[in-house]
Chain A
């Protein structure tokens, strides 16, 4: 599997560290309530198919990326800098 880092170009999967669903960027407001925080911290889907995950180009430029891929076909659609998506 290869991921095209927006900084470095196409690199082997070994250079990347996987964090999890990019849902982690959608942080609830501080006063959103226990239900919203519980959901944010613990609830994740486990889809067969399209995913949108956070990866770090750990052994490369160190940037955090949002990688869109398909767990059924193994296609990697695209990778974007996480900082561009979320302030």
Chain B
């Protein structure tokens, strides 16, 4: 039987760095999208707390392994079993995730993202569904100078390219 070698979405593309900003891949072994059925949010939240240690986060927020992922949807970085309470889809191989960190990471993202990601309004564990260039992305602040960006897996190469160009632009100034 053929032996298949699993490749991560950004295999061979990352890490890259310029001007003190580094982009590295974030690998999630499991990503489950969770959309609670009408009136089930409270029950889903309680179950998630048992199963992954955090309930449904508020909108535009992350809480532990649970990240708000759009209207009525969360993405959970762990195994969940929510039969009858929520629509659950295994999306482990559907998304590419990268981290961008460094003192000027916000300046790099400011070249690509139309919203203000400055520390005064966008704090740790704040989540934004917005655009990076022409791509829909989910951006989470994971630290004082660090963000995590999730895009559709098919756009991994474009994401890395756009970030690389912006990083070199910021580094050259």
Contacts and interface: CB of A to CB of B under 8 A. Distances in A.
Interface stretch (A11-19, A24-32, A42-50): A11-19
What does DSSP make chain A's interface, helix, strand, loop or mixed? loop
Interface residues of B, number: 13
Contacts of B128: 8
Contact of A59 (B59, B72, B73, B131): B131
B142 to A, nearest CB: 19
Contacts of B60: 7-8
Contacts, number: 38
B130 A60 contact: yes
* A: contact size bracket: 10 to 19
Contact of A7 (B59, B114, B115, B131): B59
A48 B161 CA distance: 44
B104 interface: no
Given A7-B59, A7-B60, A8-B60, A15 B130 contact: yes
B134 to A, nearest CB: 9
Interface of A: 7-8, 11-12, 14-15, 57-63, 81
Interface of B: 59-60, 70-73, 114-115, 128-131, 136
